[in-house]
Amino acid sequence: MPGTITMYSTTWCGYCRRLKSQLDREGIGYTEVNIEEDPASADFVEKVNNGNQVVPTLLVVPVGGGEGVALTNPSLAQVKAALAA
């Protein structure tokens, strides 16, 4: 079973654009959710970031399944490590 990535972002976030471009270049798939259009996703982002709306926030479920991990503004290396965990 492949790992999955959900990226919580906004349209104006430069860090989000950079990470999306890196993931695209590496061929790593993800589902993007705009927290400004989805209040439930904004609540999730706040919950995992001590009440702050910090993007990009990723929910990564590793290859083989298991419990997902939330990453805030991660590097590409951190995303790859979370997928492989």
For the entire predicted model, the pTM comes to 0.92
Instruction: Using a pLDDT cut of 90, give the percent of the chain over it.
Output: 86
Domains and CATH numbers, the chain: 4-84 (3.40.30.10)
* Residue 67 binned pLDDT confidence (cut-offs 50, 70, 90): confident
DSSP-assigned letters across all residues of 2-49: --EEEEEE-TT-HHHHHHHHHHHHHT---EEEETTT-HHHHHHHHHHT
pLDDT of residue 85: 84
